[in-house]
């Protein structure tokens, strides 16, 4: 009997989580009751028109991520929630949400196609500032997401209820990547990724209170930024504290060596006061942080995971920007 758990292995060797968030322009979240098969969109409740659309998007290599989501009411309700999160251009705090209540899951594919083409939609669109927390519980894809994701999902629901956070919804989600960091989650509309969570760090994240240094253990990075910039952003979070989450940010890679051993990155951000800053950082690959391990419970062999270290960082104020513009 195979008793190997990839999440246990990752923790035992002290793998760093930062820089493991995946980068997408659009998230399309479809409410669909479990159980889900290992390939989520092969599940029995997923209609063929939706499965075909997911395959077409994958073939076209578009930066769109489809996920199945569910909560404890999903199998009882007579409607299907469709959430579409799109990355904002320029200085941003993450993604913008469009929420639709559809009569059934068969309507999802047509609605998504119209939405992506910029067409007007007839379906009821919800306008709310809800925060959607996606917790991977996709145990058929990787058993660590069942072993650690399921208990965390239930505990997170209790935490949200105890804190009376009425604008926060907790969802089960299909595979979001990085099972070896289970329990893993995405916090939308920001699009930040977390892993190796427990309720104390979860409470700090949802309330933005407590010791900011807890993010050293659980923060995987911000999905709007390229991997090296995720490492720079974490340094800035630790410097500015929870205030950072109110700033608007944009980032880009300026130079990258051919062997990818060094990167020059730039991150621009605006504080709530309107003060604008530019941060440039040189990152170098750090052999001491390189790990070899199985990336999932079912992996046949080890993979190598490199890490960058911030070698130098420059920060300068630019000018005041108008917050009303």
Q: What is the mean pLDDT of each run of 10 residues along the chain (325 residues)?
A: 61 79 95 88 93 96 95 89 94 94 94 87 69 81 68 93 95 85 92 94 97 95 94 96 97 93 95 93 87 65 79 78 40
- Residue-wise over 105-130: b if at least 16 C-beta within 10 A, else e? bebbbebbeebbeeeeeeeeeeeeee
- 232 close to 267: Cβ distance less than 8 angstroms: yes
E strands, the chain, are 26-31, 64-70, 80-87, 95-102, 125-126, 131-136, 168-173, 185-188, 192-194, 219-222, 248-256, 262-270, 275-285, 291-293, 303-305, 308-320
Distance CA 222, CA 17 (A): 12
User: In terms of C-beta distances under 8 Å and separation of at least 24 residues, what long-range contacts does 152-155 make, across chains too?
Assistant: 152/183, 152/197, 152/198, 152/202, 153/183, 155/199, 155/202
CA 293 to the chain's CA centroid: 22
With 0-12 / 13-18 / 19 or more C-beta atoms within 10 angstroms meaning exposed / middle / buried, residue 276 is middle
For the chain, give every domain's residue range: 6-320
Q: What is the DSSP string of 272-293?
A: TTSEEEEEEEEEEE-GGG-EEE
Q: What pLDDT was estimated at residue 224?
A: 96
Q: What pLDDT was estimated at residue 290?
A: 75
- 87 close to 94: Cβ distance less than 8 angstroms: yes
| 177-182-187 Cα angle (round to 5) | 65
Q: What pLDDT was estimated at residue 94?
A: 96
Q: What pLDDT was estimated at residue 77?
A: 84
Q: What pLDDT was estimated at residue 26?
A: 96
Phi-psi region of 120 (alpha: psi -120 to 50; beta: other; left: phi over 0): beta
Q: What is the dihedral of CA 33, 174, 242, 212, to 10 degrees?
A: 120
Q: What pLDDT was estimated at residue 294?
A: 64
Q: What pLDDT was estimated at residue 316?
A: 86
Peptide bond into 189 cis (omega under 30): yes
Q: What pLDDT was estimated at residue 55?
A: 96
pTM confidence score: 0.91
């Amino acid at each position: 009997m195979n008793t190997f758990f990839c999440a246990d292995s990752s923790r035992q060797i002290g793998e760093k989580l930062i820089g493991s968030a995946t980068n997408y322009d659009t998230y399309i979240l479809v409410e669909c009751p479990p159980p889900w098969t290992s390939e989520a969109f092969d599940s029995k409740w997923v209609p063929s028109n939706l499965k075909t659309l997911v395959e077409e998007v994958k073939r076209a290599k578009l930066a769109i991520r489809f996920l199945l989501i569910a909560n404890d009411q999903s199998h009882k309700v007579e409607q299907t929630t469709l959430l579409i999160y799109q990355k904002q251009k320029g200085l941003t705090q993450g993604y913008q949400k469009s929420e639709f209540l559809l009569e059934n899951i068969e309507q999802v594919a047509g609605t998504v196609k119209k939405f992506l083409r910029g067409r007007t939609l007839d379906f009821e669109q919800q306008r709310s500032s809800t925060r959607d927390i996606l917790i991977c519980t996709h145990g058929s894809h990787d058993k660590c997401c069942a072993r650690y994701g399921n208990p965390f999902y239930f505990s997170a629901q209790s935490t949200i209820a105890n804190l009376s956070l009425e604008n926060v919804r907790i969802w089960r989600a299909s595979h979001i990547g990085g099972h070896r960091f289970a329990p893993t989650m995405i916090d939308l509309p920001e699009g930040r990724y977390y892993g190796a969570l427990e309720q104390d760090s979860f409470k700090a994240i949802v309330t933005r209170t407590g010791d900011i240094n807890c993010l050293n253990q659980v923060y995987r990075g911000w999905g709007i930024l390229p991997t090296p910039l995720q490492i720079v952003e974490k340094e800035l979070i630790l410097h500015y504290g929870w205030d950072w989450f109110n700033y608007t940010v944009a980032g880009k890679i300026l130079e990258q060596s051919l062997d990818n051993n060094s990167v020059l990155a730039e991150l621009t951000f605006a504080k709530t006061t309107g003060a604008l800053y530019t941060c440039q950082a040189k990152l170098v690959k750090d052999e001491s942080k390189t790990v070899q391990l199985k990336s999932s419970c079912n992996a046949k062999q080890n993979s190598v995971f490199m890490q960058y270290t911030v070698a130098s960082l420059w920060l300068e104020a630019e000018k005041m920007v108008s917050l009303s513009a």
